[in-house]
Structure 1
Amino acid sequence: MWKPDRSAPMPLYRQIVEHIERGITYAQLPPGSVLPSERKLAEQLGVNRSTVVQAYEELRASGLVESTVGSGTRVSLTKWGVSPLHTPNWRLYTEGGTFLPNLPFMRRIREVTRYDASIINMASGELSSDLFPNRIVSRILREESFDEHLGYDDPQGYLPLRQALVNKLLQDQNLITSETSMLITSGSQQSLYLITQCLLSPGDAVAIEDPSYTYSLPMFQSAGLRIFRLPVHADGIDPEDIITLYKNHRIRMVFLNPNYQNPTGTTLSDVKKKRVLAIAADLRIPIVEDDPFSLTDFRGSIPTSLKSLDKDGIVLYIGSLSKTAASGLRIGWLVAPQSVVDRLSDARQQMDFGLSIIAQWTAERLLASEEFDKHIKELRQSLQQKQLLMLEALTHTLQDRISFVPPVGGLNVWCKINHAIDDGKLLEEAIKRGVVFVPGSVYGSEPGHVRLSYAKPRPEEIAIGISAFAEALERS
């Protein structure tokens, strides 16, 4: 992201003017392109709003941009006196296509966190940098010899990595599988994308939890799927609701996050897990189990996965290193019947010819390291300590204005605000005070819920962030 140089002799507003002029000249900002509001651009560039106002005034005076009340500022339809008859209307292209953009709240959160490093980020589900196994990875890269072929890899993924994952899943979760039934992906979301694109068709009905992280992913709507909800209770969904949805809508697939569910933190009881599997087997519909948080269990007693109980081959199991090791490695996996793995491998090869062999090799070495189990133990301790800091701050600062049930694993606290609230206003008030969170409506819940993540903030930031959130709540 370009930013003006404060040490340069040229005034900041002139640097902004010249930067936008270059974008227009080189067609990076075609005619009709909408520019950020004065406030947003000031936030992005780290300057006073008055500086951006001055820059926009000069650009308007030169005829390069035009502003309309209610529509904002955009690049003029003529530039430098030349009619743009031969320039494509990029706005129509960017507003078209079948793949929908992220939800507005999520775009706003990402915009703020991208350009303001000082903001306390309680929206992200990514671990803070001090929780990554940097020391282990550095040792691997420094001491171990990389002798692998640097060409395209097996479409299913690097074989030694699949073998290492087979061993870890058996060791940690008593989940029995084989390397032939596993596909390496670039994370859980790529697994979900492949499933929605390759195993389902437009118009198909699917069931998801309510609320659910899945609801925040427009890829389901982009695939033309009809979404029906399974309300989440204190011990997860009611399995009988699956039968009701099947009778009423002929659902073809069920998407569940049974352990430390995102965003609520609930865990589906073992009794319910067995009932879900029995119902799915009777109806002959697959279950997609997204399981990113099981290893974060603070007690070290990892909850049972649906896949480890699956005797009928109906569960497609999704896992990832993003929430337990390193999101930047972009390593996820999908365990499925061989025919499904073959179908999704073929599709993935059309997309990117497979993942980086270097990242996969590093992940395999990390999993094989004796230090990895120690890393997981330390991660659990750190996450539990962060959660305690958040719970103490919430209890002390907000008292009876908010209610929550703390989970014993995962990365989030799901909170209910005990009075009527406008999600959008609360988020903007929080941003003004230097903290972001995810409004519950992003996950399909009724307004008045928020997801606060303790994964990303540093321990010393948590109480400050909750205090800022409380102030925002007071003003909303």
Structure 2
Amino acid sequence: MNDSSTSGDLADSLRALVAGLAVGDRLPSSRELTSQYRVGPATVARAIAALAAEGAVVTRPGSGTYVARGLVGGDDDGGDTDWQTVALTDRTVDTHLVGDPLGPVPAGTIPLDGGYIHRSLQPTRALSAALARAARRPDAWDRAPAGGLSALRTVLARIVGGTVTPDDVLVTAGGQSALSIAFRAVAAPGSPVLVESPTYPRALAAARAAGLRPVPVPLDAAGLRPDLLADAFAMTGARLLYCQPTFQNPTGTVLAPERRRQILDIARASGAFVLEDDFARHLGHGGAVPRPLVADDRDGTVVHVTSLTKPGAPSLRIGALVARGPVMERMRAVRLVDDFFVTRPLQEAALEILSSPSWDRHVRALGAALRARCAVLADAVLLEVPGATLTGLPTGGLHLWVRLPSGVDDGALARAARQHGVAVSAGRRYFAAEPTAAHLRIGFAAAADHAELTEGARRLGTALGD
């Protein structure tokens, strides 16, 4: 090749070279190519740029040019995305915590791992009617206020109680969105966040996605241990605690009355916020449900999360953050960066539902149904799963927390259970660090009826026996 060779000619020669190499192989340096093909540096640069535009090579400044995909080994129908492994250096989004590690559930599997209530328990008729009325409003498709509709914020403030006002409420697209906003608004990336152990995996995922480092604090039968919480604040310097004081997921624990004030006092003395996830406020099994921590907090220590999704339906993506002081302004700013506002028709429908007597009737009926399902599944697990121990019979929520016999691997059992036609959740996913023992979280809300709950426990026992 002489000095008059074009960059196109050189690009053709390099394509032939790349076709004989493997992905990741390094091409000769620009100096070597200049010498070998007797062209100028600018010609080499243009030829390399052409191949990079095609995706055949990738250039790494200071390192060289490497084979990427495409021309290697002939035609490539599916492409090669291996380069993303290098590009995605930020590992803060934990895909194992937000997805199902065992993959899609096969047809016919009994869902004892679900986090939503079965369709037969949902107020679908009332929801459909409310959404239809909301869609007919003249302003149905207008922009909603960033903080949420004033009337909806008023109703949500009344549900939370205490001295909470509508100005203290920010409407969100469900509880998970609220958690994501709060973690990013309250704590700086790289800082620790204290969490109950065990706790909700998707809260761990949201915290890590915000760049935070979850630090576990153990629970006992009365909830979060204040003595260990004080130690954890002192040792880590954390400025945020995430907890679920009422019907905790996965254990179902309710934080004892005397500990509620202790938790707030410890956090306040540490100059820290308490992120209270009150997802199960409407999931009591018929008994008294304790007041949320935020209802008795006048100093802005508590950032409260609530949601209508769990007691309503999976697509009723309406939740709220409740807070006082500058932290609320920070969360409003994060919400504007994220998505501006929650769609107005859904807010109007939620307002219709909450303002109707049918909502209270639904909550009461749901509580009775969940109480009966909980008892049926608990009896079936104790009968059908040898060596299984219930850590307690919950008085609210959607799940049982079951300790497995010594030597049983909860992940292996969850996989075996799938093969026997029942889906359960391995307990290890609920721990921010090493689990204390092997557990399963077994849900009683997503199955179709009592017969499915009993059959699911039988299949689980068979999987354990095998």
Q: Say whether the fold is shared (TM-score over 0.5).
A: yes
Map of 1:52 onto structure 2: none
Map of 1:27 onto structure 2: none
Map of 1:131 onto structure 2: 121
The amino acid of 2:254's aligned partner reads: T
Q: Which of 156, 172, 188 lines up with 1:165 in the alignment?
A: 156
Map of 2:104 onto structure 1: 112
Q: Which of 317, 320, 337 lines up with 1:333 in the alignment?
A: 320
Is 2:377–2:444's contact at 8 Å kept on the other side of the alignment? yes
Map of 1:57 onto structure 2: none
Is 1:263–1:451's contact at 8 Å kept on the other side of the alignment? yes
Distance 1:178-1:104 versus aligned 2 partners, 3 A rule: closer
Distance 1:105-1:421 versus aligned 2 partners, 3 A rule: farther
Map of 1:378 onto structure 2: 365
Is 2:307–2:320's contact at 8 Å kept on the other side of the alignment? yes
Q: Which runs of 5+ in 1 are unaligned?
A: 1-30, 33-75
The amino acid of 1:426's aligned partner reads: L
Q: Which runs of 5+ in 2 are unaligned?
A: 1-21, 24-68
Q: Which of 140, 163, 167 lines up with 2:130 in the alignment?
A: 140
Q: Please list the CA deviations of residues 12-33 of structure 1 after superposition, one character each: whole Å capped at 9, or x if unmatched.
A: xxxxxxxxxxxxxxxxxxx99x
State the percentage of identical aligned residues: 26
Distance 1:246-1:437 versus aligned 2 partners, 3 A rule: same
The amino acid of 2:159's aligned partner reads: K
Once the two structures are overlaid, the 10-residue window that deviates more, 439-448 or 369-378, is 439-448
Distance 1:245-1:142 versus aligned 2 partners, 3 A rule: closer
Q: Which has the higher Rg, Structure 1 or Structure 2?
A: 2
Map of 1:68 onto structure 2: none
Distance 1:279-1:397 versus aligned 2 partners, 3 A rule: same
Q: Which of 422, 445, 465 lines up with 2:456 in the alignment?
A: 465
Q: Secondary structure at the match of 2:291?
A: coil
Give, in whole Å, the separation in 1 of the partners of 2:280 and 2:80: 48
Aligned length: 395
- Alignment pair present for 1:92 and 2:85: yes
Q: Which of 348, 369, 386 lines up with 2:335 in the alignment?
A: 348
How far did 1:95 drift? 4.4
Write out aligned runs for 1:8-27 (5 A).
none
Distance 1:122-1:92 versus aligned 2 partners, 3 A rule: same
Instruction: Please tell me the root mean square deviation across aligned C-alpha atoms, in Å.
Output: 2.6
Q: Which of 269, 279, 284 lines up with 1:297 in the alignment?
A: 284
Give, in whole Å, the separation in 2 of the partners of 1:316 and 1:296: 20
Distance 1:197-1:93 versus aligned 2 partners, 3 A rule: farther
Q: Please list the CA deviations of residues 46-87 of structure 1 after superposition, one character each: whole Å capped at 9, or x if unmatched.
A: xxxxxxxxxxxxxxxxxxxxxxxxxxxxxx955994479x98
Is 2:97–2:429's contact at 8 Å kept on the other side of the alignment? no
Distance 1:93-1:121 versus aligned 2 partners, 3 A rule: farther
Distance 1:158-1:117 versus aligned 2 partners, 3 A rule: farther
Q: Secondary structure at the match of 1:371?
A: helix
The amino acid of 1:152's aligned partner reads: R
The amino acid of 1:418's aligned partner reads: P
Q: Please list the CA deviations of residues 141-199 of structure 1 after superposition, one character each: whole Å capped at 9, or x if unmatched.
A: 455642325232211112221112122223xxxx3311111111111211111122222
- Alignment pair present for 1:398 and 2:390: no
- Alignment pair present for 1:422 and 2:414: no
Q: Secondary structure at the match of 2:195?
A: strand
Give, in whole Å, the separation in 1 of the partners of 2:80 and 2:398: 47
How far did 1:462 drift? 0.5
